[in-house]
Amino acid sequence: MGSRKRSAKARQISEFKATLGTGGGFDDLFAREEERREEAAAEHEAALRAKSCESKNRYASRAEAEAAVVACAEYGTTGLSVYKCRYCNGWHLTSHPWEAGE
């Protein structure tokens, strides 16, 4: 444990602030953290879009998508359902039943 003297505490605080980098102190630290979080959120959203929309076939209407489900069932693929995409407003097929009916 460090000293309890005010001068020692002030020195510790100034040393800590110096380790935060040049030109910023806490404001700079919080700004960098906010920027990092925004970049991470953008990357996450891009990954979700790629997985749920860009890597799938797009159907213009629910009827077309349901016809594709029937065609898949004729070839042995069962358990598919359709959902409206929040990214492209088209329709896609999914094997996850909780997404159906959106």
**pLDDT top residue among 23 and 28:** 28
Residue 27: predicted pLDDT:
67
- Greater confidence (14 vs 64) lies with 64
75 shares a domain with 41 = no
Kindly state whether residues 34 and 19 are assigned to the same domain. Answer: yes
At residue 1, the pLDDT reads: 54
Query: Could you give the number of structural domains in the chain?
Result: 2
Same domain for 46 and 80, yes or no, is no
pLDDT digits (tens, 9 = 90+) for 51-101: 888 889 999 999 999 999 999 999 988 899 999 999 999 999 998 876 555
pLDDT of residue 25: 58
Rounded Cα distance, 70 and 24, in Å: 61
DSSP state, 23? T
Return the C-alpha torsion angle 86, 90, 96, 100, nearest 10: 90
* Amino acid letter for position 101: G
Give the pLDDT of residue 12: 83
Which parts of the chain fold into alpha helices (H)? 6-19, 25-49, 62-74
Continuous segment of H or E residues that includes residue 91: strand 91-94
**Pair 71, 89 in one domain:** yes
pLDDT exceeds 60 at position 23: no
Of 82, 84, 86, nearest to 66 by C-alpha is 82
> pLDDT tens digits, residue range 29-46?
788 888 999 999 999 999
What length is written for the chain? 102
Provide the residue range defining the domain that includes 28: 1-55
Domain match, 10 and 28 both = yes
